[in-house]
């Protein structure tokens, strides 16, 4: 048996040596992708819906046809792997750009022009926690068609963007008609101007959004949102200072961040009409560069809002938060951020009646990050 095994191994060795040597084939990998937007109006009459005319604007990333893939080829072997964004909420950035000389066209999903936060707090959710308390996060990431033009006169750029529209159900607005409809006719619109001079830089952003709630008699109730925001950052020796603020109408309906576990006041229905919310936001950060590897920061953010209520009274709400932290660069691409975040949940006034103090929340720990 052992002799037979030795003979078989020897025969296999001889057979292998007799085969022509295979040259190592050069392999190639080609990456490709496609970012696609849908922008059209769908208009259904009441014979289709059975209740009312329905007209809506569709303005979104085409997540079913957008794709990213890789093609592989090595000699006689080939392969193709391709993925698509499952939904807008499952991806962060998916876009393409075209530089046409005097400017750049962007199609797809990425940060909006109104995303201009300044706080370095990052422990909760990887950053942006203070956005719910007053930092200027705008509409975060949205599907959009965007034009960017360089502005040499101010060392910045001018941005014009049309974003995926937002809307709410009639019940959320409070229209007392169970069969009411919501129509979108325009995208959210934003424009931004950035500037820089020496150690100072900043951005001014304006935005507008609107959707209609329609009752069964085809009467429209328009929910309009708008805002004006700005930020500025400057470095003064080892110190840096960043300030940001915004004010507007129905900013939560527009898409501004809300505090975790809570909701901001939104437009509702009062005296047979849409009742709007006025909001003001502010954030600031003071930092100190202790060394090339360590920076200290203090953040503060707050918001205040109100809307009319029955009997000439007011609904009011306000919150604030602060954070203390250090940004420690351990190695290239590796940072640690120990920090403490303390919130003041404030009080909510409903129809002129002040509610109880909602207390405070405290978070402390370390945020770890390796970028590669």
Write down the mean pLDDT value for the chain: 83
Among 337, 343, 335, 340, smallest CA distance to 361 is for: 343
- pLDDT above 60: residue 47: no
Split at pLDDT 50, 70, 90, the class of 10 is: very low
Could you tell me which residue, 366 or 263, shows the higher pLDDT?
A: 366
Contact 141, 131 (CB under 8 A): no
Closest CA to 147 of 208, 188, 100: 100
CA distance 213 to 218: 9
Could you give the CA distance from residue 62 to residue 60 in angstroms, rounded to a whole number? 6
Q: Could you give phi then psi for residue 6, rounded to 5 degrees?
A: -65, -40
* Under 8 Å between Cβ of 238 and 288: yes
Show the domains of the chain with their CATH numbers: 94-370 (2.40.160.10)
| Phi and psi at residue 316, to the nearest 5° | -135, 150
C-alpha–C-alpha distance, residues 36 and 65, integer Å: 7
Residue 279 vs residues 249, 258, 263, 358, 360: alpha-carbon distances, Å: 6, 12, 13, 20, 21
**Can you tell me the distance from the alpha carbon of 276 to that of 253, in angstroms, rounded to the nearest whole number?**
10
**Residue 88 · residue 36 · CB < 8 Å:** no
The two tokens of residue 147 are 């034009």
Contact by Cβ (8 Å): 84, 302 = no
List, in order, residues 6 or more apart from 210 with CB less than 8 Å away.
Answer: 185, 186, 222, 223, 224, 225
3-state helix, strand, coil in the chain (%, to 5): 10, 55, 35
Share of the chain above pLDDT 90, in %: 38
pLDDT value for 194 = 97
The per-residue pLDDT for range 332-350, each reduced to its tens digit, is: 889 888 898 888 888 889 9
Question: Which one, of 276, 50, 268, lies nearest residue 175 by Cα?
Answer: 268
Buried/exposed code over 67-99 (b: 16+ C-beta within 10 A; e: otherwise): bbeeeeeeeeeeeeeeebbeeeeebeebbeeee
The Cβ-side half-sphere exposure at 330, using a 13 Å CA radius, reads: 10
pLDDT at 84 over 80: no
The pTM of this model reads 0.80
Helix (H) or strand (E) run with residue 135 in it: none
Question: Highest mean pLDDT: which of 5-9, 134-138, 179-183, 320-324?
Answer: 320-324
Q: What is the pLDDT of residues 297-335, one digit of tens each?
A: 999 999 999 999 888 899 999 999 999 999 999 998 898
User: pLDDT tens across 207-234, in order?
Assistant: 999 988 877 777 788 899 999 999 999 9
Q: Which of 229, 244, 236, 279 is nearest to 258 (CA)?
A: 279
Instruction: Using alpha carbons, select from 321, 326, 323, 322 the residue that is nearest to residue 288.
Output: 326
pLDDT tens, residue by residue, 234-256: 999 999 999 999 999 999 889 88
Please name the helix (run of DSSP H) or strand (run of DSSP E) that holds residue 254, with its range, or none: helix 251-254
- Is 171 strand, coil or helix? helix
Q: Is 62 helix (H, G, I), strand (E, B) or coil?
A: coil
């Amino acid at each position: 048996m052992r002799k037979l095994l030795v003979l078989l191994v020897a025969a296999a060795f001889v057979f292998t040596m007799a085969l022509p040597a295979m040259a190592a084939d050069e392999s190639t990998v080609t990456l490709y992708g496609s970012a696609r937007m849908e922008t059209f109006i769908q208009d259904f009459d009441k014979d289709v819906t059975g209740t009312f005319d329905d007209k809506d604007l569709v303005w979104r990333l085409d997540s079913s046809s957008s794709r990213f893939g890789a093609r592989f080829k090595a000699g006689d072997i080939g392969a193709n792997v391709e993925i698509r964004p499952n939904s807008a909420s499952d991806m962060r950035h998916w876009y393409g750009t075209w530089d046409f000389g005097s400017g750049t066209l962007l199609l797809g999903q990425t940060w909006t022009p109104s995303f201009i936060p300044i706080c370095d707090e990052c422990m909760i959710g990887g950053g942006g926690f203070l956005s719910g308390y007053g930092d200027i996060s705008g509409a975060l990431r949205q599907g959009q068609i965007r034009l960017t033009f360089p502005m040499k006169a101010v060392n910045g750029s001018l941005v014009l963007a049309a974003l995926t529209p937002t809307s709410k159900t009639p019940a959320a607005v409070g229209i007392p008609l169970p069969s009411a409809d919501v129509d979108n006719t325009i995208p959210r619109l934003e424009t931004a101007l950035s500037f820089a001079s020496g150690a100072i830089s900043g951005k001014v952003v304006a935005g507008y959004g609107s959707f209609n709630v329609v009752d069964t008699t085809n009467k429209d109730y328009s929910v309009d949102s708008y805002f004006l925001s700005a930020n500025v950052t400057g470095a003064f020796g080892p110190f840096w200072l960043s300030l940001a603020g915004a004010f507007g109408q129905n900013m939560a309906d527009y898409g501004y961040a809300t505090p975790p576990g809570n909701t901001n006041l939104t437009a509702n229905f009062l005296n047979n009409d849409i009742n709007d919310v006025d909001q003001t936001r502010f954030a600031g950060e003071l930092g100190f560069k202790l060394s090339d590897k360590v920076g200290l920061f203090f953040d503060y953010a707050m918001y205040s809002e109100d809307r009319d209520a029955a009997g000439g009274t007011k609904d009011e709400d306000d919150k604030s938060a602060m954070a203390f932290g250090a940004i420690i660069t351990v190695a290239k691409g590796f940072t640690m951020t120990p920090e403490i975040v303390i919130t003041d949940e404030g009080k909510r006034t409903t129809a002129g009646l002040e509610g109880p103090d909602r207390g405070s929340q405290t978070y402390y720990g370390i945020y770890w990050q390796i970028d590669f």
